[in-house]
């Protein structure tokens, strides 16, 4: 299991707390889970259990750490590094339930608990990582590891722990450490507040209620039905409700003929956190950025991006900027070509207006029909959620000979959640996979992969710890007799998150610090490579079946889908790269840089790269949760960085002539999923590929070869 005091979220100080004994009879966290595979008993866990468990977990973790720090015996790998690696079991246990559920089924009470726990966890982490007696022992093991008879895995975990301490301020003087502790505590509260504001802005603070059905012109029946169901659930009987969740606004912008309502709905989305009200995020952003710059300077770095990227594959911000700009210019030119083609449609229809951001999806869809005779609504009936799910399971089986068996005896935290037991071909257990598909007010937006227990090794028991992996999405719910039908983008999303899930399920390693842990700009390789399979004709024929007739997606539509793979790549890459460059601009600021106006800074950043006004960055600053509350600060670039890796890796399968080449799949599983924490990212990739990745397969995939 990953020990939570090493995770940025999991950071705090010794606190008074309720006795473990007084809670043991009723608090599930204080006992072994008596469930299949020791899965969390969600049906027994109550909100009142979290605080006592967190506080007791912090207390126990600090007692364990202090025991290591004051050990009179000479520091060794076993009594210092291994002991540290195995500490904090209770804290990890409660954190591994609370934090995933805070994103999936939050409420005012859960948010209140998070606000109370956040500074305690921050202070706890600092108390561990700035414990000078503990650091002295870690440092001694580090300095003598070459003569201590350690194997490569042990040397790597020693190195990583030593690096963690240094990067957490262990080498600072006492005054600097106190300032760093204050910064960490403040940042933990600010990032939490940013996320709370965004959750409210997305799920509660904006809605578009339509009473006149004529204003729904152009929308497919399924979209209208979903909007009617949403309206009924919200108390708007006989009306239609749209909101700032992507499954709601993207279909409206894609098919809705009413331009004024497209604008109103899109503004409801892109003005989140920027309405100058109690949920405004601009002041929070200024504080976060300033504190991150100060922290980086304290630790000896020029800026926050320097600090973050120092342990990534890219190593330094300049390498990231160079990489992004190599893609920016061809992407921008492609987007301008797309814009001209769409404007021609507007003009031909007598529109008498210039395309605005809220028009792009609508006219892109028209252009798709015009160029490729492909209407996405034609394909959606073939992408029934359950069929797509079974399709991705089939791909995993073909590659890795694993199987998925649905279990009804595993407790779940919401009625929409499914659980599957994952097994090897010989029937041996690998882990559990939880799938949570649909939006709700208690769930944050987007899609992600998390887990309730990491794979690892219990040295005390001498046994492997099997993982509990969870994939959370926001797909359109079934309505009436119509099942959940995914868009092509959502199909890709599900395969993407499943790739993360396979990484979590396959992870092996004896040490929590290194098992499965990879640089931030490697972590998207396992997810993005899976997207390559979902559009292959051989795979499509497995899962793309009409939900009413069972008819397989016709070859004609498969061919159109293949032909249109380069469609709208200018837009898709420009909005992503713009957000990546905005992230880098925020986090290359130094303590001497002063930002007075968040929107002005964002505008200047986008003007600098020549972003056309018809496209907004994928995330504007005020709702850029990846970088201001989600752990991707100075790291949003990693999706495209990893796309170089995944394109090159998938190209190996294509070059072999077998998309399910068992030998290649076994090597990828071993070096890039299973043992990936045993070496640096590029080292592990080269073990699989035999060479460094080429950017050419990505340029070809994007249509940017020239």
**C-alpha distance from residue 122 to each of 7, 513, 622 (Å):** 10, 18, 24
Helix then strand then coil, in percent of the chain rounded to 5, is 60, 5, 35
DSSP structure string for 440-461 = -TTS-SS-EEEEEE--EEETTT
- CA 670, CA 239: separation in Å to the nearest integer? 53
- CA 434, CA 436: separation in Å to the nearest integer? 7
Sequence-distant (6+) residues with CB within 8 A of 326 are: 695
Helix or strand (DSSP H, E) at 422: strand 418-423
Q: Are 402 and 396 in contact (CB under 8 A)?
A: yes
Pairing of strands 240-243, 463-465: unpaired
Question: Which are the catalytic amino acids?
Answer: 497
What region does 159 belong to: left with phi over 0, alpha with psi -120 to 50, or beta? Answer: alpha
Angle (deg, nearest 10), helices 317-348 and 638-656: 80
Q: Are 313 and 641 in contact (CB under 8 A)?
A: yes
- What is the DSSP-derived secondary structure letter of residue 566? G
- Give the residue among 342, 397, 352, 673 at the shortest CA–CA distance from 527: 673
Total Cβ atoms within 10 A of residue 223:
25
- Give the residue among 463, 458, 454, 444 at the shortest CA–CA distance from 501: 454
- Give the residue among 33, 44, 50, 156 at the shortest CA–CA distance from 98: 50
């Amino acid at each position: 299991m990953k020990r939570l005091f090493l995770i940025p979220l999991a950071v705090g100080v010794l606190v008074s707390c309720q006795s473990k004994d007084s809670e043991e009879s009723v608090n599930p966290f204080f006992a072994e889970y008596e469930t299949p595979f020791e899965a969390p008993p969600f049906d027994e866990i109550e909100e009142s259990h979290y605080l006592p468990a967190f506080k007791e977990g912090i207390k126990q973790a600090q007692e364990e750490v202090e025991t290591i720090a004051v050990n009179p015996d000479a520091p060794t790998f076993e009594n210092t590094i291994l002991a540290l690696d195995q500490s904090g079991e209770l804290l990890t246990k409660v954190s591994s339930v609370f934090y995933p559920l805070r994103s999936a089924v939050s409420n005012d009470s859960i948010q209140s608990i998070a606000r109370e726990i956040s500074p305690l966890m921050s202070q706890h982490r600092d108390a561990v990582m700035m414990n000078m007696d503990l650091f002295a022992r870690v440092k001694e093991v580090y300095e003598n590891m070459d003569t201590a008879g350690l194997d490569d895995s042990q040397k790597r975990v020693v190195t990583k722990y030593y690096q963690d301490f240094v990067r957490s301020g262990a080498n600072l003087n006492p005054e600097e450490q106190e300032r760093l502790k204050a910064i960490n505590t403040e940042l933990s509260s600010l990032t939490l507040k940013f996320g709370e504001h965004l959750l409210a802005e997305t799920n509660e603070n904006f809605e578009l209620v339509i009473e006149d059905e004529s204003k729904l012109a152009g929308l497919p029946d399924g979209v209208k039905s979903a909007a009617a169901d949403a309206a009924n659930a919200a108390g708007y009987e006989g009306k239609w409700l749209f909101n700032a969740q992507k499954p709601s606004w993207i279909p409206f912008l894609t098919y809705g003929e009413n331009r004024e309502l497209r604008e109103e709905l899109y503004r409801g989305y892109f003005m989140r956190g920027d309405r100058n009200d109690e949920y405004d995020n601009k002041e929070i952003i200024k504080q976060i950025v300033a504190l991150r710059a100060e922290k980086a300077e304290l630790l000896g770095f020029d800026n926050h991006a320097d600090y973050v990227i120092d342990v990534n594959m890219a190593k330094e911000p300049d390498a990231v900027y160079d990489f992004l700009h190599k893609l920016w210019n061809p992407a921008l030119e492609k987007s301008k070509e797309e814009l001209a083609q769409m404007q021609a449609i507007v003009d031909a229809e007598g529109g008498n207006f210039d395309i605005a951001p809220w028009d792009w999806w609508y006219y892109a869809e028209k252009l798709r029909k015009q160029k490729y005779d492909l209407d996405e609504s034609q394909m959606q009936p073939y992408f029934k959620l359950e069929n797509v799910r079974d399709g991705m399971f089939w791909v995993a089986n073909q590659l890795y000979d694993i199987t998925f068996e649905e279990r009804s005896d595993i407790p779940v935290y919401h009625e929409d959640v499914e659980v599957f037991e994952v097994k090897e071909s010989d029937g041996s257990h690998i882990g559990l996979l939880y799938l949570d598909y649909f939006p709700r007010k208690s769930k944050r937006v987007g899609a992600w992969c998390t887990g309730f227990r990491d794979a690892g090794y219990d040295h005390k028991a001498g046994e492997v710890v099997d993982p509990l992996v969870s994939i959370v999405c926001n797909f359109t719910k079934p309505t009436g007799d119509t099942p959940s039908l995914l868009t092509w983008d959502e199909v890709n999303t599900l395969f993407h998150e499943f790739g993360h899930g396979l990484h979590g399920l396959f992870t092996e390693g004896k040490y929590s610090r290194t098992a499965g842990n990879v640089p931030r700009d490697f972590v998207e390789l396992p997810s993005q490579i899976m997207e390559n399979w979902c559009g292959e004709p051989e795979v499509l024929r497995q899962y793309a079946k009409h939900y009413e007739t069972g008819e397989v997606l016709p070859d004609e539509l498969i061919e159109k889908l293949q032909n249109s793979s380069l469609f709208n790549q200018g837009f898709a890459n420009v909005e992503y790269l713009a957000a990546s460059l905005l992230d880098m601009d925020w986090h290359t600021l130094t303590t001497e840089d002063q930002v007075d106006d968040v929107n002005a800074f964002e505008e200047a950043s986008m003007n600098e790269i020549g972003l056309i006004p018809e496209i907004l960055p994928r995330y504007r600053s005020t709702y850029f949760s990846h970088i201001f509350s989600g752990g991707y600060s100075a790291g949003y670039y990693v999706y495209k960085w990893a796309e170089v890796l995944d394109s090159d890796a998938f190209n190996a399968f294509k070059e072999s002539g077998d998309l399910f080449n068992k030998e290649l799949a076994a090597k990828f599983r071993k070096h890039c999923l299973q043992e990936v924490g045993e070496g640096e990212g590029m080292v592990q990739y080269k073990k699989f590929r035999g060479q460094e990745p080429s950017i050419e397969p990505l340029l070809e995939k994007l249509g940017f070869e020239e």
